[in-house]
Chains A and B, each alone.
Chain A
Amino acid sequence: QKEVEQDPGPLSVPEGAIVSLNCTYSNSAFQYFMWYRQYSRKGPELLMYTYSSGNKEDGRFTAQVDKSSKYISLFIRDSQPSDSATYLCAMMVRSTLTFGKGTMLLVSP
C-alpha cells in the first residue's frame, strides 16, 4: 500500500460546480497537510496548508483533514475554467514531503 493514495482522474466538471478532491494516507506520523496546484509545464504552487483536523477556508477553497480516518479533502466552490490543473496532495513529517500522484481537474465553460 502506498503511503498516499490519490485518484489520478481526470475529473471533468462544468463551470460553477463544487469540486471535491481527496487523498487517503497510511502513515499516522504525518503532521502537516498541503494541497498544491500544478498547471501544465509549471512547478507546483502551494494552495492550502493545515496541521490539524477540521476545516480551513481560503476564498473558494476549503481544506478538510480527518486524522482519525486518515483522509484529506480539498473543496473548490464555484469552479472556474482557470481552476483546470493537476491538484497534488502532500503530507509532511520531519521536513519530508510525501506526495500523491495528483488529480487532473478539467472545468469546462
Chain B
Amino acid sequence: SAVISQKPSRDICQRGTSLTIQCQVDSQVTMMFWYRQQPGQSLTLIATANQGSEATYESGFVIDKFPISRPNLTFSTLTVSNMSPEDSSIYLCSVDGIFSGLAGAISSTDTQYFGPGTRLTVL
C-alpha cells in the first residue's frame, strides 16, 4: 500500500469562498481519485485526476465547481469553489496502481487506498 496524506484535515469556511485540498502520496501512482462522503451516504466519486491532462468528472460534477490539478504522479489538489452549506462533507482522495521496484512495475492494481479525508463545514 501507500501512505497518503491530505491537507487540511478539516476546515470551516464561509459561504461563497473556495477551499483547495491537497493530496500527497509517498509513492508514484498511476491513478488518483477524489470522492465525497456526505453524512449517511455512500462515498461518491467526483472525478479521476489525470496526470498531465484534464480530470475526468462523474455525472453531476463539473470542472467549474471542482477544479482538479495533478501536476505529477504523487500529488493532486481538489478545489471546492463558491461554497454553499450543501458542500459540507468529507472529501477523500484515493490512489490505485502503485509503482514499485526499479523496473517501474505497478503493484496493487484494481484496489484503491484512501487518504484520511478532509472534513469541510460551510457556514
Contacts and interface: CB of A to CB of B under 8 A. Distances in A.
A103 to B, nearest CB: 12
Contact of B92 (A34, A41, A43, A46): A43
B42 A46 contact: no
A44 B111 contact: no
Interface residues of B, number: 22
Interface string A81-109: 00000001010100111111110000000
A32 B111 contact: yes
B90 to A, nearest CB: 8
A107 B43 CA distance: 24
B40 A46 contact: no
A4 interface: yes
Q: Is the interface of A mostly helix, strand, loop or mixed?
A: strand
Contact of A46 (B43, B45, B113): B113
B112 interface: yes
A42 interface: yes
A45 interface: yes
